[in-house]
Structure 1
Amino acid sequence: MTTTLGVVFLPFLPPEQLREAAQAAEAAGLEELWLWEDCFRESGIAAAAAALAWTTRLRVGIGVLPVPLRNVALTAMELATLARMFPDRLLAGVGHGVQDWMQQVGGRVASPLTLLREQTTALRALLEGQTLQTAGRYVHLDDVALDWPPAFPPPLLLGAVGPKTLSLSGELADGTILTGATTPEQVASARETIDAARREAAVSRRHTVTVYLPAATGPDAGDRLARELTEWGMGTDSGIGVAGNAAAIAAAAQRYVLAGADTIVFQPTRDEPDLAGFMGVIARDVRALMP
């Protein structure tokens, strides 16, 4: 199966640059553009709606919507609206959120895993057109159903790091999103945990693994990547990220594919001087070198 390639539009960039980036991604032939709902930068839903409206073919992923920030009925309404307006082009990711940020907004809960389980279960059911009567620890729905559920619900993905969340993703989700701090060895381990949970839950639907890969190309690629890794609290000897030409980037991506990744989303540095050019390298040069 062909590996899917994407690029992140980082929320460190001002939102008014998204239109140019989304259209550049589509013009380059990139398959997916990914967005982050990081506190307190940019809305995942608003940015996704705009990117989808400005393009005609590009798939747009949200990775991820922090569930402590959101009532599940509202998330379902928003995702259903996008899925109906832009069929087969939305990828919806949800996750715990960064707990310090959740604390800042008064949304931190005693059991993030329970909240994610309850929200994911309810979200899938609502998007499938079910009527819910739910009284969980955190999710309470009284005869709730969407008036406009999508004919084909978008793939529901979970952002995951730890083994418990990876297992939950395998049980409930259509895919897992792994952070840019993930090595190929960790991808392989995550895949094993996910697949074990799928077997235990007797889940047969396909489950994809998406991983962010920090990358830089151009004459100062090494320096920019080193600064980026330092900013993220990772050393240059961590085995994370790749700097170099298309061949080097493709080789790094292939290591993740062999470890079990289905989608590689390249994460440019915050000081990337030519985002459109970076997208072109990924869509044309790196794609041509992927087996």
Structure 2
Amino acid sequence: MKIRIGAGLGTGTAPEEFGAAVDLLERAGVDSLWLPEAVYSPRIDPIVGLTHALARTTKLKVGTGVMVLPGRDPVLVAKQLASLAALAPKRVLPVFGLKPARDAELPLFPVPQGRRAAVFDESLRLIRALLEQEEVTFHGEFFRVEGTGLGMRPVKRLDLWLGGKAPGALRRVGRLADGWLASFLTPEEARAGREAIQEAAAEADREIEADHFGIGLIVAEDGIPDALAASIAARSDADPSRLIAGSWSAARDLLAEYVDAGLSKFVLYPAGPEPIERFVENFVEHAVPLQN
């Protein structure tokens, strides 16, 4: 498997520092930058961030980790992705999720009551059709396109990855997606998730490439902060040290376990507001050598 490790930006990077952080990642030879969806926060919007980062770099890949899809118009999302792929071929990495991490943001992505999963599935199918076909006729429950296209298609097929860890989310990955980017799972849980996805893919007469499974991992410099540990304890019964790396040494150990579980794509995020320069320095020293 081809092991690749990308980076996310922490709370220590202010919006006005985003460009400089992108330049630093490019100079350091970091594989990819990942931008999560967090509307009520100082984080840059993922599509805006992708556009800016891709425009000022030539090698850095940029992904959404993850961006909410239900509640967005899939035709417009497909056009954005096709446009980015045309401007920066082979460097656009879309990952979609069912809903925002914060409940307060859920009304910003409106869908019919009780139909979020169905909208998600249909949106994915329509986006795939628009990205791959010159002319699309699509009659769905929620969206309709009649004999038209985007006027552009990616030269190289654009892989669509999904997040999520609920049983329904894992089945969706197997049925509809090209890859899986998980979060807050122990290596044992990640292995079980990968196996469930592969089983769902086989049932749908599909196959997901073996190196298209990944996970995001928060890395703390000097032990897991108490507030972060409490937050993790509220959402999982697992020992926080199995979900968050308390040091760069612990990160290496966890990454090795995830690789053994069948994962090969990783995104490392700083646990706190440490300067991006120090995070990248540690990233280059401890994470980059693990790639192959």
Compute the TM-score of the two structures, normalised by the length of structure 2: 0.89
Higher mean displacement: 187-196 or 63-72: 63-72
State the partner residue of 2:85.
83
State the partner residue of 1:44.
46
The counterpart of 1:93, out of the listed 92, 95, 118, is 95
The letter for the 1-side match of 2:88 is F
> Any residues of structure 2 matched to 1:191-206 within 5 Å, and which?
191-204=194-207, 206=209
Encode CA deviations 1:237-279: one digit per residue, 9 max, x unaligned: 332111224x3321111111111212111121232x2222212
State the partner residue of 1:70.
72
Q: Residues of 2 paired with 1:8 and 1:115: CA distance? A: 28
The letter for the 2-side match of 1:274 is P
Unaligned 5+ residue runs, structure 1?
A: none
1:52 deviation in Å?
A: 1.0
Decide whether the 8 Å contact of 2:69 with 2:96 is kept in 1.
yes
State whether structure 2 residue 133 is matched by structure 1 residue 132: no
Q: Residues of 1 paired with 2:182 and 2:12: CA distance? A: 19
Instruction: Report SS of the residue matched to 2:287.
Output: helix
Instruction: Report SS of the residue matched to 1:39.
Output: coil
Q: Residues of 1 paired with 2:138 and 2:11: CA distance? A: 34
The letter for the 2-side match of 1:82 is L
1:130 deviation in Å?
A: 4.0
Instruction: Report SS of the residue matched to 2:162.
Output: strand
Q: Residues of 1 paired with 2:60 and 2:173: CA distance? A: 25
Decide whether the 8 Å contact of 1:29 with 1:284 is kept in 2.
no
Decide whether the 8 Å contact of 1:61 with 1:93 is kept in 2.
yes
Unaligned 5+ residue runs, structure 2?
A: none
Provide the aligned C-alpha RMSD in A: 2.3
Decide whether the 8 Å contact of 1:59 with 1:91 is kept in 2.
yes
State whether structure 2 residue 62 is matched by structure 1 residue 26: no
Q: Residues of 2 paired with 1:189 and 1:26: CA distance? A: 34
Q: Residues of 2 paired with 1:194 and 1:182: CA distance? A: 15
State the partner residue of 1:285.
286
| Matched-pair identity in % | 27
Decide whether the 8 Å contact of 1:28 with 1:284 is kept in 2.
no
Q: Which runs of 4+ in 1 moved over 6 A?
A: none
State whether structure 2 residue 172 is matched by structure 1 residue 171: no
Aligned length: 284
Distance 1:12 1:125, change over 3 A: farther
Distance 1:248 1:100, change over 3 A: closer
1:177 deviation in Å?
A: 1.5
The counterpart of 1:54, out of the listed 20, 32, 56, is 56
1:202 deviation in Å?
A: 1.6
Distance 1:106 1:170, change over 3 A: closer
Instruction: Report SS of the residue matched to 1:270.
Output: coil
State the partner residue of 2:159.
155
